[in-house]
Structure 1
Amino acid sequence: MSLRPSRSFLPLRHQPLSPFPSSPASSRLPPHRRTTTSASSSPPPSAPMHPPASAKDAEADQEQQRRQQQAQAYHSQTKHSLTAGYARGPRGLDWANQPNPFLRFARSPLLPLLHLPPDSHHHHRQHQPPSPAPIYHSVFSALPCVPPQPLSHASISQLFYDSLSLSAWKTTGVSTWSLRVNPSSGNLHPTEAYLLSPPLLPSSAADAAASSSPASSSPFVAHYAPKEHALDLRALLPHDFLPRFFPPSSVLVGFSSIFWREAWKYGERAFRYCNHDVGHAIAAVAIAAGSLGWDARLLDGLGSSDLRNLFGLGKGFPSTSPPAQLPSRPTRGRFPWVEMEHPDCVLLVFPAGSSSVFSIDYASLSKEISKFPSLEWFGSPNSLSKDHVCWDIIYRTAEAVEKPLTEGEHFSIDPFSSSGLISDGLYKKLTVREVVRKRRSAVDMDGVHVMKKETFYQIMLHCLPSGDVGRGGRQGKQLALPFRVLPWDSEVHAALFVHRVAGLPKGLYFLVRNEDHFDILKQTMRSDFEWVKPDGCPDGLPLYRLASSDCQVLAKQLSCHQDIASDGSFSLGMVARFEPALHERKAWMYPRLFWETGILGQVLYLEAHAVGISATGIGCYFDDAVHDVLGLSGSEFQSLYHFTVGGPVLDKRIMSLPAYPGPDVDA
């Protein structure tokens, strides 16, 4: 993922951005306006529709307004500005305190997982059970695309191997670093993963490690250790916990974030990038689950405190929460608590295609989880850095957007919708494992590769949340893989800068991923945009040309002057319905908008590699300059993530090494 380090810069020289004619819609705000950084000047939340019924209701309403204001203040303060400089970050990299990218729990029982063959065309290693390796595009066409695999040591090994494990080591001869299946901002990997599972029965006599582990006879909570491709056993669960609340053969996969890993390099903007990474990890697990014939769904009724108890966060940690009085500004020192894990979310992973309908009683589930602190928790985490910098606004915002338990939250499994397929010949006949494990973030694009129009349209079809809705259907509800993991209708759209697509004029295009937003988008954006379907656009693909123009210089300027945004076949900015989503779903929707962009970004990564090219997420861009180009004013829509797709430039000075066994280094 391409992310320019945040530093203090002098204001940049004013440059005209838009290649399109000016219009009233684009001149409502002065170009490249200075982003305000005070909470008091953030856009005020909407007034409640009904007056509070009591003093208690009024207090709750005020608290919710405070939380929304903090989220909006953080978002405003951490914008990069084309003229006023970048969001606050370190002035240089403190290499002596670079955080360890691997968290381990010392003295915790370790359950090694199986290492799988690279693809279905290779012979399985001796004593390894066969594992399904469906063709990549098949997971988007049917769920299940293979018969649901039994829950076992082997299938859990495959779930993590194809989603969160190491994919390779890289070395220049001087330095060595690891890559993972799931991408991360700056390859810093703030996301940690947890598994709650029934007893994992060995799938063959060769699974000696599984048969001798406590996990073979008891349900458990474990932390995933990617360097070892193993599970740190954290606690044993009551035997009736999972069967009481979830269908048979289900597991829970949860995520937490260590903000310090990102903040070490990117400062205040790190909270955004951590949540991008959560979205990438969610999608990675959903795709891997799909290749096993499993489905996945976010258990979003649970609150942050439930997740802390569920994962055992705080058990064995020297300090697990910020002090009551945070520093009032970024402060350097020894702050062990900045290495704490912040709970993000948990997924229910279960066999797909089951005819049984089930619901989740969140109130009873939360009550049972509240007993988890009394379990015996194994191990204590390693330290990541000797010294730290406390970026105070990150922790204030993380607290403000924590989600409470929502007891009445409805849980449902929506019907699967396949994604549109123009032709399977557009893909390289790769298996899911080949695609996910060969995925890389391109460092540079060649500025030459021309994408076929049919390939471009195919990638766009796989970016649609509702899949192939058929005649008369509309995009919005998230039914396709991997978007179906999210319980809310899509809030994220894509503004595309098309540079090199054969048969498609260069210019600015827009992919409407929720057609309920179409009218307000058209009203809010520049009045002179065309909103015309391009030639050959498939039926059911809500893609529109806004303006024909060479946007290479513009795309580069908007993405912090990075060539990679102009040298691909196309680049894009993900635009989310922002302020209304926060008001309708409350402040905790703020990180969830970034999760949705990360899921979309993961699809772009995989699609690019499946057709033989590459992609890169771009977190460094000039927020309000993007809005100015589109004619957006206020906070109704905000750009949250950028991406580029095209032909990569390979650095032949860097040598690749196998993921396992890898060199005995931490970074």
Structure 2
Amino acid sequence: MAEMPLLHHRLALSLHHHHHLLLLPPPTTTTKRLSQRILKITMSTAASSHSPSTHQHSLDQQQQQQKDQVLRYHNQTKHNFNNYARGPYGLDWANQPNPFRRYVSSPLLPLLHPPSPNSPATTRDGSPPPLYHTVFNSLPSPKPISKTTISQLFYDSLALSAWKTTGFSTWSLRVNPSSGNLHPTEAYIIAPPIDSLIDHSFVAHYAPKEHGLEIRTEIPSGFFPKNFPKNCFLIGFSSIFWREAWKYGERAFRYCNHDVGHAIAAVSMAAAGLGWEVKVLDGLGHDELEKLMGLDVFPEFKIPSRPVKGKMPEIEFEHPDCVLLVFPSGTSDFGVDYKGLSLAISQFSTLEWKGKPNLLSKEHVCWDIIYRTAEATKKPLNIFNQFIVAPFLGSGDISESSYKGFSLREMVRKRRSAVDMDGSTTMARETFYQILLHCMPSGFGSGEKQRKQLALPFRTLSWDCEVHAALFVHRVVGLPKGLYFLVRNEEHLDDLRKSTRSEFKWTKPDGCPDELPLYELAKGDCRELSKRLSCHQDIASDGCFSLGMVAHLEPTLHEKGSWMYPRLFWETGVLGQVLYLEAHAVGISATGIGCFFDDPVHEVLGVRGSKYQSLYHFTVGGPVIDKRIMSLPAYPGPGVDA
């Protein structure tokens, strides 16, 4: 039996003597070897078949260069004990980016402020609001699209949730979390006419501080009837890399894509409360997304050859990430003609776009590798992509009593990121298993293995699950302390066992539901270990459990393309959003952790190369409330200059 103490002692020694963990090849060497290996395979395959056309050879070469760039970025931006990823040494407070994008001179349509989630338990139409945990098993009847429901969708997903003040400074919080509360993610709605709001089809930017829509342009009336069923609209997301890079430097591209995932899940959960489904339109490419949201109005940003500092207003451009189709649940017998949709979107460049984006900072720093990687991960149009709405699968209940009876609306708006954890709060084993059930992509009851993303909110994503979780269990009553692994795609199970330490047990823990693919790897107290791995942060060891999200990285890039790299981070963000909501729903809290030592985490697991990589850490436990900080209502805020 592989007990944790021996393993833990060996790892602790490695952690204590930092240089022992750096015996693996340095990132640049690893990248070159990976590139050479892939190139050899490509050349070998090409030699054994007919000579490819010049065009195909050029395309293969371009795709190889893109994957090389992604692996170069990923390795260069790893943190290690004696070498953090490059970033600003100290914060330039004078140039802190404005967290609110506005399109100056574009018309602003105010949205409604729905009743407080704590008000009497009825919605505007008199029906009771769904309880948080119930939407994981079935959605309520779909509400009509109107000013009321669109207002509620944004209010419960992307709006402000509160203001905080210490007397010296004031800052806002949002329903969707963000690394460093910097909010690089911007949102757009592309919709047909909406009752009581606007009488023509339009594109608008969502302004969270005002809780309103800035109208960017009017679009042709035939756009929606020709391309989508009735009662559909689109939500688009873009990222302003500068907002995140101001604080985090080169690693910011990772964090921006975490935030996209959180935003996707936030919209999916809020839509679920209205009886609406959400799905990424993943056949569209970068160029289509840019035109659809009117982001081609930004001046072209020329990437410098090295990091530079100065006045670069063009660096504040918005990079298009994705567009979500929102439609009534039960609408499943339709497809999307991406060729026709792309043709219709190509006409958007000729429309009259209103508003000029505000300047966010006076001076900037360009970390050139962020923008090279963004170029390398641009997704091409795929007119053959199949738009499939799979049957809704519930996530399963084994401990409904773990939940505190909050409505979904209460839950999404009360979510907060814990700054500290108390180091004493415990969790029942059944509650732990219940949380993990809601973290599974395929739901339960189908008899199939976990792989396809069919459960809420993972069903919004269009690819099979590629992200797992390595769990450090600290304070779960009835479960031994130690290292565990949650296999979220069971097709990877055999490979994971072969790719990790040979002494790991891979046994099901006591009381674990048969349908939950959770495995105990090794017993032992790993509080100090998890703390050190997460950049020496106490919060990783002071909760009930913490975890690292481990993605199936290099094979996914090789099979599908470099454009999957940001999508793997989106998947971690969606999973992180579920962990946030689950923690609050059982009466505790959670926090995402973007700072961790990448390769030391891999050393703990025993994984080599880039097949499996840790992309995001998380911790769940009892929060410590800082009583020096006062909370103020989200709307009206404390003042326009706050």
- Quick check: TM above 0.5? yes
- Alignment partners' CA distance in 1, 2:64 and 2:260: 26
Which digits, 9 at most, give the CA deviation of each residue in 1:349-391, with x for residues without a partner?
000013x511111111111101101111111111000000011
Q: Does 1:560 align with 2:560?
A: no
Q: CA RMSD for the aligned pairs?
A: 1.9
Secondary structure at 1:409 match in 2: coil
- Alignment partners' CA distance in 2, 1:121 and 1:477: 38
1:352 paired residue among 329, 345, 352: 329
Map of 1:496 onto structure 2: 471
How many residues end up aligned between the 2 structures? 623
- Alignment partners' CA distance in 1, 2:464 and 2:587: 31
Residue type of the partner of 1:345? C
Q: Report if the CA contact (8 A) 1:293-1:351 is conserved.
A: yes
Map of 2:21 onto structure 1: 31
Residue type of the partner of 2:90? G
Secondary structure at 2:269 match in 1: helix
- Alignment partners' CA distance in 2, 1:17 and 1:34: 26
Residue type of the partner of 2:597? F
- Alignment partners' CA distance in 2, 1:180 and 1:426: 26
1:213-362 equivalent positions in 2, closer than 5 A? 215=198, 217-315=199-297, 317=298, 319=299, 321-323=300-302, 326-354=303-331, 357-362=333-338
Residue type of the partner of 2:105? R
Map of 2:74 onto structure 1: 75
- Alignment partners' CA distance in 2, 1:20 and 1:347: 48
Q: Report if the CA contact (8 A) 1:129-1:154 is conserved.
A: no
Which digits, 9 at most, give the CA deviation of each residue in 1:47-74, with x for residues without a partner?
3455562111000000000000000100
Q: Report if the CA contact (8 A) 2:238-2:322 is conserved.
A: yes
- Alignment partners' CA distance in 1, 2:127 and 2:634: 19
- Alignment partners' CA distance in 2, 1:543 and 1:39: 31
CA-CA distance at 1:473 after TM superposition: 2.4
CA-CA distance at 1:81 after TM superposition: 0.6
- Alignment partners' CA distance in 2, 1:122 and 1:651: 30
For structure 1, which segment, 488-497 or 116-125, has the greater mean C-alpha deviation from structure 2 after superposition? 116-125
Q: Report if the CA contact (8 A) 2:429-2:479 is conserved.
A: yes
Q: Report if the CA contact (8 A) 1:499-1:550 is conserved.
A: yes
Q: Report if the CA contact (8 A) 1:221-1:236 is conserved.
A: yes
Per the alignment, do residues 42 and 30 of structure 1 end up closer, same or farther by CA in structure 2, a change over 3 Å counting? Answer: farther
Which digits, 9 at most, give the CA deviation of each residue in 1:290-310, with x for residues without a partner?
110000111000000100000
Map of 1:184 onto structure 2: 178
CA-CA distance at 1:415 after TM superposition: 0.8
Map of 1:112 onto structure 2: 110
1:171 paired residue among 165, 173, 197: 165
Q: Report if the CA contact (8 A) 1:42-1:69 is conserved.
A: no
Which digits, 9 at most, give the CA deviation of each residue in 1:594-622, with x for residues without a partner?
00000000000000000010000000000
Per the alignment, do residues 39 and 64 of structure 1 end up closer, same or farther by CA in structure 2, a change over 3 Å counting? Answer: farther
Per the alignment, do residues 63 and 549 of structure 1 end up closer, same or farther by CA in structure 2, a change over 3 Å counting? Answer: same
Q: Report if the CA contact (8 A) 2:121-2:129 is conserved.
A: no
Q: Report if the CA contact (8 A) 1:117-1:123 is conserved.
A: no
The answer for unaligned runs of 5 or more in structure 1 is: 1-15, 203-209
CA-CA distance at 1:39 after TM superposition: 9.4
Secondary structure at 1:650 match in 2: coil
Which digits, 9 at most, give the CA deviation of each residue in 1:172-218, with x for residues without a partner?
0110000000000000000000001111102xxxxxxx3xxxx2x10
CA-CA distance at 1:424 after TM superposition: 2.0
Map of 2:192 onto structure 1: 198
Per the alignment, do residues 246 and 38 of structure 1 end up closer, same or farther by CA in structure 2, a change over 3 Å counting? Answer: farther
CA-CA distance at 1:454 after TM superposition: 0.7
Map of 1:635 onto structure 2: 610
Map of 1:647 onto structure 2: 622
Q: Report if the CA contact (8 A) 1:188-1:261 is conserved.
A: yes
Q: Report if the CA contact (8 A) 2:31-2:75 is conserved.
A: no
1:134 paired residue among 112, 130, 133: 130
Per the alignment, do residues 365 and 17 of structure 1 end up closer, same or farther by CA in structure 2, a change over 3 Å counting? Answer: farther
Secondary structure at 2:385 match in 1: coil
CA-CA distance at 1:41 after TM superposition: 2.5
Q: Report if the CA contact (8 A) 2:589-2:622 is conserved.
A: yes
- Alignment partners' CA distance in 2, 1:606 and 1:156: 22
Q: Report if the CA contact (8 A) 1:442-1:649 is conserved.
A: yes
Q: Does 1:604 align with 2:579?
A: yes
- Alignment partners' CA distance in 2, 1:577 and 1:546: 19
Per the alignment, do residues 295 and 17 of structure 1 end up closer, same or farther by CA in structure 2, a change over 3 Å counting? Answer: farther
Per the alignment, do residues 474 and 657 of structure 1 end up closer, same or farther by CA in structure 2, a change over 3 Å counting? Answer: same
More helix by percentage: 2
1:389 paired residue among 358, 361, 365: 365
- Alignment partners' CA distance in 1, 2:506 and 2:32: 34
Which digits, 9 at most, give the CA deviation of each residue in 1:378-418, with x for residues without a partner?
11111000000011000010001000101111111011110
Identity of aligned residues (%): 64
Residue type of the partner of 1:41? K
Runs of 4+ residues deviating >4 angstroms: 37-40, 49-52, 128-132
Q: Report if the CA contact (8 A) 1:17-1:629 is conserved.
A: no
Q: Does 1:43 align with 2:34?
A: yes
Map of 1:435 onto structure 2: 411
Per the alignment, do residues 130 and 168 of structure 1 end up closer, same or farther by CA in structure 2, a change over 3 Å counting? Answer: farther
Which digits, 9 at most, give the CA deviation of each residue in 1:107-141, with x for residues without a partner?
1111111101222643889xx66676210011101
CA-CA distance at 1:444 after TM superposition: 0.3
Map of 2:432 onto structure 1: 456
- Alignment partners' CA distance in 1, 2:603 and 2:214: 49
CA-CA distance at 1:37 after TM superposition: 4.2
Per the alignment, do residues 239 and 401 of structure 1 end up closer, same or farther by CA in structure 2, a change over 3 Å counting? Answer: same
- Alignment partners' CA distance in 2, 1:266 and 1:505: 36
Per the alignment, do residues 649 and 310 of structure 1 end up closer, same or farther by CA in structure 2, a change over 3 Å counting? Answer: same
CA-CA distance at 1:34 after TM superposition: 6.3
Map of 1:89 onto structure 2: 87
Secondary structure at 1:43 match in 2: helix
CA-CA distance at 1:20 after TM superposition: 5.9
- Alignment partners' CA distance in 1, 2:70 and 2:6: 28
- Alignment partners' CA distance in 1, 2:100 and 2:540: 31
Q: Report if the CA contact (8 A) 1:35-1:77 is conserved.
A: no
Secondary structure at 1:19 match in 2: helix
CA-CA distance at 1:18 after TM superposition: 5.5
Which digits, 9 at most, give the CA deviation of each residue in 1:326-350, with x for residues without a partner?
3222111011111000000000000
- Alignment partners' CA distance in 2, 1:132 and 1:290: 14
Map of 1:366 onto structure 2: 342
TM-score by length of 1: 0.91
Map of 1:12 onto structure 2: none
- Alignment partners' CA distance in 2, 1:80 and 1:460: 28
Per the alignment, do residues 390 and 131 of structure 1 end up closer, same or farther by CA in structure 2, a change over 3 Å counting? Answer: farther
Map of 1:160 onto structure 2: 154
Residue type of the partner of 2:185? T
- Alignment partners' CA distance in 1, 2:118 and 2:31: 58
Residue type of the partner of 1:71? V
Secondary structure at 1:616 match in 2: strand
1:568-587 equivalent positions in 2, closer than 5 A? 568-587=543-562
Per the alignment, do residues 455 and 40 of structure 1 end up closer, same or farther by CA in structure 2, a change over 3 Å counting? Answer: closer
Q: Report if the CA contact (8 A) 1:417-1:479 is conserved.
A: yes
Per the alignment, do residues 561 and 606 of structure 1 end up closer, same or farther by CA in structure 2, a change over 3 Å counting? Answer: same
Residue type of the partner of 1:576? A
Per the alignment, do residues 40 and 513 of structure 1 end up closer, same or farther by CA in structure 2, a change over 3 Å counting? Answer: closer
For structure 1, which segment, 262-271 or 372-381, has the greater mean C-alpha deviation from structure 2 after superposition? 372-381
- Alignment partners' CA distance in 1, 2:347 and 2:294: 11
